Structure 1
Amino acid sequence: MSRAQAGEVPRWRLGSAPTSAIEEPSVAPISTRGIRGKLTADAPLAPYVWFKTGGHADWLFEPADLEDLKEFLSRLEGEMPVMALGLGSNMIVRDSGVPGVVIRLGKAFATVEARRDKVIECGGGASGILVSSKARDAGIAGLEFLRGIPGTVGGFVRMNGGAYGREVADVLIDCDVILPTGEFVTLPARDLDYSYRHSVLPEGAIVVAARFQGREGIPAEIGEEMDRIAAAREASQPLRTKTGGSTFKNPLGHKAWQLVDEAGCRGLKLGGAMVSDKHTNFLINTGDATSADIESLGEEVRRRVYEKSGITLEWEIQRVGRP
């Protein structure tokens, strides 16, 4: 039984939601003396997200390492909104920008180590491709599905990412998390109360490391499964476009793409945004879309699906920033 089921609220869930943003992004939110990472005001985010759209962050912080991130967040004292940014593959950054501080984890957080007990220990900035490849090379099976998740460890641990019949909840042992106050905690998988594409990690919490349990395998066979996953993605998904991955969650007993298709939305356009002809659960920036185009198109798809089937699709893509 989880703590939530027992009626106990873990301490790390309390008091960790950020409160307000500063009004003048040009004025540093804290003293940066001794901070070794890069802090940028009014930083454009479009280059960092797959849709290549969206506004600016009030502040973008790229920490030098874990201790630098802890110190930076502790100085904020939970007084500003904090958001982690990985590969930007499952995200719409709204055109009006993101308040507070966006944290972008760099190379210091992209380490991956294979342990003798068939555990893969990795940083929150490591990609699913890197994690699965390191596991393959070490003869650790069971993590091949991570090859099919277009994101970083921090993102798919938070969202219980999954692909090809498996999800993070199946393999996560525990994760290291920094709360918006700078407090560092290690949480076992059971404390995340995982459900479909959801965990109870509080807003602003940043996953900086995680450990995944694999099993003994043969590298060649693991590689073959990874190649199969890669080929299946290439054949069925519009990977070579400006897209954001799967747009809507699959409702219980249904496939989101099929509901979208049956509602007549294949190829539907709004401004520079379009529902993919190749996979109808993907939205595409055809070249000049705004984030408003993409989000509005998604809402129109939801409206048409409900009108056709009576089913309300839930967004899987994160939509962040000022409305």
Structure 2
Amino acid sequence: MTFPDITPDLRADVPQLRGRLLPNHDMSGLTWFRVGGPAQVLFTPADEEDLAHLLASLPAEIPVTVVGLGSNLIVRDGGIPGVVIRLGGKAFGEISLEADDRLRAGTAVPDVKVARAAADASLDGLAFYRGIPGCIGGALRMNAGAHGGETTDVLVEARGVTRKGEIVRLSHADMGFTYRNSAAETHEIIFTSALFQGRPGDQAAIFAEMDRVTAAREAAQPIKERTGGSTFKNPQGGKAWQLIDAAGCRGLRVGGAQVSEMHCNFLINTGGATAADIEGLGEEVRRRVKQNSGFELQWEIKRLGVAS
């Protein structure tokens, strides 16, 4: 699918923009599954002010979608209409230490780099980020967690830009964290940075914990495959992978997509899969689990765009 090119109109309406506007940009290379159609416009802002300029001037009828590192994402084969925003570069990729054992990170920073920066500064409490693929922006939106820690445990505040182009700060309470979710979509905010609370710790012990997280992840998850991380949320009273396994879905295939043999809450692009294959496989897994156990699995992976 090819969308109408609206970049000339955007440049005319917001002549002060300094970031890149790319029409019909192929999104498959920006997702870990390596599938999906184009973004009608991919915008990479130069900094927070640049992002605010675009959002303040953008007509309300043009949809806005935010993507991060693409680790927990399916872009459908028909692509994403409107403006897709992807933060990157120095403006959104810096980490700094602050007073009172706090660490601030731009939302384009990979989670693993936050864990490493905290360890380098002997700050405990953030090592769990070593086991989470993706970036801080995604961690804020979905209260990312692993190995006994969650974003809600360590976040002090987040900063971002609203759909109207207003720069705002959200306290921990404002974030409305729940299991693998937050109130970010309700607030219509694109996060630009986050402030985390650590605590003094022994550096050697922190690095040892990060090594444990790394080893556990490598032993249990198909991290060398084209995958999107955990596919479904754990339902109350159950483990998603156990329910999937009990429903006979381990190794199940649809086209080029497969349920991982190593960890059956992971879907894999074995080569040549389409986004429809992967999403269709996920829906078939959900159907079989519901039929077998009565549990209705909820997607943890975000699915964006339109079918081809």
TM-score scaled to structure 2, two decimals?
0.95
Alpha carbons 1:26, 1:42 under 8 Å: kept: no
Q: Distance in 1 between matches of 2:47 and 2:273?
A: 35
Read off the aligned partner of 1:263 and give its amino acid letter.
Answer: A
SS in 1 for 2:196: strand
Q: Distance in 1 between matches of 2:9 and 2:236?
A: 44
Task: Give the equivalent residue in structure 2 for 1:202.
Answer: 185
Alpha carbons 1:77, 1:180 under 8 Å: kept: no
1:272 maps onto 2:252 in alignment: no
1:91 maps onto 2:73 in alignment: yes
Higher helix share: 2
1:37 maps onto 2:19 in alignment: yes
1:186 maps onto 2:169 in alignment: yes
Q: Distance in 2 between matches of 1:78 and 1:118?
A: 41
1:215 maps onto 2:219 in alignment: no
Task: Give the equivalent residue in structure 1 for 2:235.
Answer: 251
> What are the equivalent positions in structure 2 for 1:1-323 lying under 5 Å apart?
24-30=4-10, 31=12, 32-107=14-89, 108-202=91-185, 204-323=188-307
Q: Rate the CA distance shift 1:118–1:43 in 2: closer, same or farther, 3 A.
A: same
Structure 2: runs of 5+ lacking an equivalent? none
State the Cα distance separating 1:78 from its structure 2 match: 3.4
State the Cα distance separating 1:28 from its structure 2 match: 3.0
Q: Distance in 2 between matches of 1:121 and 1:130?
A: 12
Alpha carbons 1:119, 1:212 under 8 Å: kept: yes
Q: Distance in 2 between matches of 1:149 and 1:26?
A: 36
Alpha carbons 2:227, 2:268 under 8 Å: kept: yes
Compare 262-271 and 189-198 and name the one that shifted more: 189-198
Q: Distance in 1 between matches of 2:60 and 2:171?
A: 24
Q: Distance in 2 between matches of 1:114 and 1:221?
A: 20
Q: Distance in 1 between matches of 2:231 and 2:9?
A: 34
Deviations 1:197-219 (A, max 9, x none): 11111265211100111100121
Deviations 1:64-121 (A, max 9, x none): 1111111121111433211111110000000000011111111220111112311110
Read off the aligned partner of 2:162 and give its amino acid letter.
Answer: L
Q: Distance in 2 between matches of 1:219 and 1:25?
A: 52
State the Cα distance separating 1:29 from its structure 2 match: 4.2
State the Cα distance separating 1:26 from its structure 2 match: 4.4
Read off the aligned partner of 1:313 and give its amino acid letter.
Answer: L
SS in 2 for 1:39: strand
Structure 1: runs of 5+ lacking an equivalent? 1-22
Compare 71-80 and 149-158 and name the one that shifted more: 71-80
Percent identity of the aligned residues? 51
Paired residues, what number? 301
State the Cα distance separating 1:54 from its structure 2 match: 0.2
Read off the aligned partner of 1:35 and give its amino acid letter.
Answer: L
Read off the aligned partner of 2:46 and give its amino acid letter.
Answer: A
Read off the aligned partner of 2:4 and give its amino acid letter.
Answer: E
State the Cα distance separating 1:57 from its structure 2 match: 0.4
What is the Cα-based RMSD across aligned positions, in Å? 1.2
Q: Distance in 2 between matches of 1:100 and 1:80?
A: 5
Compare 60-69 and 46-55 and name the one that shifted more: 60-69
Compare 70-79 and 165-174 and name the one that shifted more: 70-79
Q: Distance in 2 between matches of 1:205 and 1:320?
A: 17
Q: Distance in 2 between matches of 1:288 and 1:171?
A: 40
Q: Tell me which stretches of 4 or more aligned residues in structure 1 moved more than 4 Å.
A: none
State the Cα distance separating 1:288 from its structure 2 match: 0.4
Compare 139-148 and 200-209 and name the one that shifted more: 200-209
